[in-house]
Amino acid sequence: MRIALLVMMFPPKNLGGTEIASYNIAKHLARRNHEVHVITSSDPGVPNYKSESGFFIHRTVLNHTKYIGIVLFAITSMIQVTKIRPDIIHAQNITMGMIAFFGKKFFKIPYVVWGRGSDVHLQWKFKKYVSKIVLNNADVSIALSQNMKDEMQKLSKKDIYVIPNGIDPAIFKESKVKKDYTGTKIIYVGSLLPIKGVKYLIKAMQILHPTNPDIHLTIVGDGSDRRSLEQMVHEYALVQNISFVGKLPHKDIPQWLCNNNILVLPSNSEGMPNVLLEAMAAGLPVVATNVGGIPDIIKNKRNGYLVEPKNPQEIAEKIQYLINNSQMRKIISEQNKMDSQRYNWNNIVQNLDSLYSKVLKTD
């Protein structure tokens, strides 16, 4: 099967959840003997055409001028589609689905669209109009979580499948997992943007510090909020307790997770964050907000604890509970390592492959 996978950005320079998932989807589809072509935007210093991990990457021009840039990207991507002539187009979010829609309309190529998070949960111009066109014309629509499916279903007359993100458990076996159930090392991994709610985690650290003077938070990631967050840390006199390490290569994340004791994800909105699955594979208890697809993964007392968004007091209470209860941390740690096996990329892509075959009516 020849597959064109459309995604706005792609590694190595872009390492968000959608980008990492797209890389793994392409790699695992190629391992299943499919001819996979990723169509994405260009990056300075990165070749516009490359073969990697058994699949092909085609990078087209992305002008960052508002609207005009997106239109140019759509046109150049459509040109790539006509050259590749795929059996099926896979769009990695609803906006990419518009390109797939035109591929179906003009060239009769079926398409699959996979909602990724912000395209479903956040507001953007023409969202309702575009989403209805893309979802109602797609041969298959996929959501990452039940919550996302419910949102997408409001705009689609067709049933929507749920397939979560995946992980590669092997990379955690290669990392040195420290079985320390008494430490007070907290980690956050993600972008430093307002929607990620990191300031509420820093406020929780301020609450925790007086009774836990040795507590330490490592913040992995970068973004527009970094300067203001660093300023908060100085104002709260937590410079010795909170470290900003910036953006790291994705291959380094497993070891950073394994070197810490608890993952906290204080987001105001989420799709289905990969870092939760990675933290589970590393055996970390999780404290995360009850938003988006997070409750599909994290069950209270089984995988960690859910808290309400924008509530530093509740975040602090759950972290403190885990600090005080090493036996509970051990139980959750072992449970998380077992539960994470369900999200193996091999299984996820097998389900995706079955949907492709259903669309094309092949075995």
Contacts of 115 (CB under 8 A, 6+ apart): 93, 94, 141, 142, 143, 144, 148, 152, 271
Domains of the chain plus CATH, in order, are 2-166+344-360 (3.40.50.2000), 170-343 (3.40.50.2000)
234-275 tens-digit pLDDT: 999 999 999 999 999 988 999 999 999 999 999 999 888 999
**144 three-state secondary structure:** coil
Residue recorded with tokens 């604890």: 305
Token pair in block for residue 63: 């002008």
pLDDT value for 179: 59
3 state SS for 229-291: HHHHHHHCCCCCCEEEEECCCHHHHHHHHHCCCEEEECCCCCCCCHHHHHHHHCCCCEEEECC
Report pLDDT for 138: 98
For the chain, residues with pLDDT lower than 70 are 63-67, 174-180, 362-363
**pLDDT of 12-44, one tens digit each?**
988 888 999 999 999 999 999 999 999 999 988
CB atoms within 10 A of CB 98: 19
**How many Å apart are CA 145 and CA 345, to the nearest integer?**
16
Number of other CB atoms surrounding residue 123 within 10 Å: 7
Query: Going by C-beta distance under 8 Å and a sequence separation of 6 or more, which residues neighbour residue 259?
Result: 178, 185
**Cβ-based neighbours of 77, under 8 Å, separated by 6 or more:** 6, 39, 60, 99
Residue 46 DSSP label: S
Please report which helix (H) or strand (E) contains residue 120, including its range.
helix 118-121
